[in-house]
């Protein structure tokens, strides 16, 4: 809240990924992001391309389908040039990290993402390198994702290790494996005092999304 998306456009950026909604930890209910409608309108007025993400805490296939239906409801009638991402990072969802958990997580992600894909969206998965990238030790879902979900859907990875730049040695493989890479949460722009996540995109999503 408090930021004008025109200031993002004025700073030279081409697109924004807006939070569509979230499953709350406190009572397990789902709600739209309070700023989604406002930010979507501002992005359109500023001429920014738009994508979206939903912060998932689904612990079953049934909850995943529930989340997908809410995403479809919240985005009805809206146009997107970038994917709709499932943000699957919350440690609350997975108290232990092992092969059994990774298999269940993959099944849940598929339930959510398949439902969105069936509705016509270009779908992606977002998560931290520490969970999802097999070049990091202890990445508990890496093999499941890289061998399965990552081949079917888009992938957006985040790693803030020393606020890595895309050319950093530790991240040089990202361009070949992922569609988008988030490397800092500390980006500053003129006109707003807060910090923003910052990404580089390796694919021409506005062209790709036209299929959908």
pLDDT band at 130 (very low <50, low <70, confident <90, very high): confident
CA distance 138 to 131: 7
With a cut of 70, say whether residue 163 has pLDDT above it.
Answer: no
Digit-coded pLDDT (tens) for 46-66: 999 999 999 999 999 999 999
Which is it for strands 15-23 and 30-32: parallel, antiparallel or unpaired?
antiparallel
Mean pLDDT in residue range 154-171: 80
Listed in sequence order, the DSSP H helices in 99-204 are 99-118, 129-132, 142-144, 150-152, 174-177
Contact 80, 52 (CB under 8 A): yes
Of the candidates 103, 87, 86, 175, which has an alpha carbon nearest to the alpha carbon of residue 143? 103
| Percent of the chain residues past pLDDT 90, beyond the cut | 56
Digit-coded pLDDT (tens) for 167-178: 777 777 788 788
Strand order in the sheet with 49-55: 30-32, 15-23, 49-55, 84-87, 123-128, 154-158, 180-189, 192-201
CA distance 8 to 81: 17
Mean pLDDT in residue range 106-124: 94
What b-and-e string marks burial along 101-136, b requiring 16 or more CB atoms within 10 Å of the CB? bbebbbebbbbbbbbbbebebbbbbbbbbbbbbeee
Predicted model pTM: 0.92
pLDDT band at 1 (very low <50, low <70, confident <90, very high): low
CA distance 82 to 13: 14
């Amino acid at each position: 809240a408090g930021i004008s998306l025109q200031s993002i456009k004025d700073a030279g950026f081409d697109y924004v990924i807006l939070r569509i909604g979230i499953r709350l930890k406190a009572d397990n209910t789902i709600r739209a992001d309070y700023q989604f409608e406002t930010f979507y309108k501002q992005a359109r007025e500023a001429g920014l391309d738009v994508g979206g993400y939903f912060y998932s805490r689904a612990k079953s296939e049934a909850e995943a389908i529930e989340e997908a239906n809410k995403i479809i409801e919240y985005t009805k009638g809206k146009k997107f040039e970038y994917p709709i991402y499932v943000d699957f990072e919350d440690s609350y969802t997975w108290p232990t990290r092992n092969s059994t958990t990774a298999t269940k997580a993959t099944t849940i992600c598929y339930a959510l993402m398949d439902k969105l894909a069936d509705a016509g969206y270009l779908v992606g998965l977002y998560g931290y390198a520490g969970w999802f990238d097999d070049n990091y030790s202890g990445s508990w879902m890496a093999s499941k994702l890289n061998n399965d979900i990552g081949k079917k859907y888009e992938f957006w990875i985040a790693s803030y290790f020393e606020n890595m730049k895309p050319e950093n040695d530790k991240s040089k493989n990202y361009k070949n494996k992922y569609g988008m890479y988030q490397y800092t949460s500390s980006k500053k722009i003129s006109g707003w005092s807060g910090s923003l996540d910052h990404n580089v995109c390796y694919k021409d999503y506005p062209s790709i999304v036209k299929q959908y």
